Structure 1
């Protein structure tokens, strides 16, 4: 068995991405249209974790506006020209990938991409107790909530040095 590797997401991966979301996120899962739109709008931010031909996880990130993080399940329509952050929409790993370092390596890749694209900050919405994982990745809590995510979710941010890999 080989080590899992992050690779670019392809349209053919979307059914597996949706299945992983359903398995991992429960109430926070989203319609396939959300994943398909993110891939169409910003393919550079869409990755899957693959081992021996099987998908074990995915990561979706894209430029966005810090004053209006996207609601759960919402379609974006377009990446705004006024984007001022790199938004980490989702990182989901099946149990077989957890503890392997894949979450940290996916986050590192997203940080490098944010830097290369010139963003000084990343933002995400942590759900289901994931704030402790994100805190270990350098994210800190921000005030504010997005109602669609529920009371337990928290908005988090990490500063990155734009242009430095």
Structure 2
């Protein structure tokens, strides 16, 4: 744990009440909530790339990311299939969800989660990171080196959802995620980044859900603060 009481760790069974509550508050208005069973299935598909951020002893944010073929993304209405070891696994890590609780936004916690995930991606040999920007958050992620692919229409992620990706870069965390209201990533989720112009509410990056049957499109990624 750092001197300010912030710690990032792997998800434990006891975290799911808090994660489900944060996810619901972040995505209900957008019509993009998934529910506990589906969220757990995402994490179970790649537990080594999914994390919780604690402030003191309380979960205050989380990130869900999993390997997914480039230009494909999870179906928000379906749970992931059990993980299967592939002979040639995807070298793309899909940032599906990144959320920071409302009361903790504006402290740069979304950036910490993003930095931690980026370092993890590098350590595990991923070559690219993708996400689905939602809620008009494309500008936020563009400033952080992500490129939009307008030819891909992430079905099920709401209007204005944009599939984006970027090569893995160790300095991704220094690319501008500010501890302030930023229209790109809210300290809430990462299911496809929502409008980067919104307050740095909590980093939504619902990115792309990854499941056994790869759905072309994007995930959820909101702004991360």
Which of 10, 13, 31 does residue 12 from structure 2 map onto? Answer: 10
Task: Please name the residue that 2:159 is paired with.
Answer: 151
The range that moved more, 64-73 or 15-24, is: 64-73
Q: Using CA pairs below 8 Å that are at least 6 residues apart, which structure has the higher relative contact order? A: 2
Relative distance call for 1:18 and 1:145 in structure 2 (3 A) is same
SS in structure 2 at match of 1:109? helix
Structure that is richer in helix per residue: 1
Deviation of residue 108 (structure 1)? 1.3
Structure that is richer in strand per residue: 1
List gaps (5 residues or longer) in structure 2. Answer: 171-225
Give the number of aligned pairs: 162
Which of 85, 96, 107 does residue 100 from structure 1 map onto? Answer: 107
* 1:53 matched to 2:57: yes
Task: Please name the residue that 1:24 is paired with.
Answer: 26
SS in structure 2 at match of 1:29? coil
The range that moved more, 62-71 or 135-144, is: 135-144
TM-score for both structures, normalised by structure 2: 0.66
Which of 37, 57, 62 does residue 66 from structure 2 map onto? Answer: 62
Q: Is the 8 A contact 1:11 1:39 kept in 2?
A: no
Query: For 2:105 and 2:141, how far apart are their aligned partners in 1?
Result: 14
* 1:33 matched to 2:37: yes
Q: Is the 8 A contact 1:71 1:146 kept in 2?
A: no
User: What is the root-mean-square deviation in Å for CA atoms of aligned residues?
Assistant: 2.0
Q: Is the 8 A contact 1:6 1:50 kept in 2?
A: yes
Relative distance call for 1:118 and 1:48 in structure 2 (3 A) is same
The range that moved more, 135-144 or 28-37, is: 135-144
* 1:121 matched to 2:123: no
Task: Please name the residue that 2:179 is paired with.
Answer: none
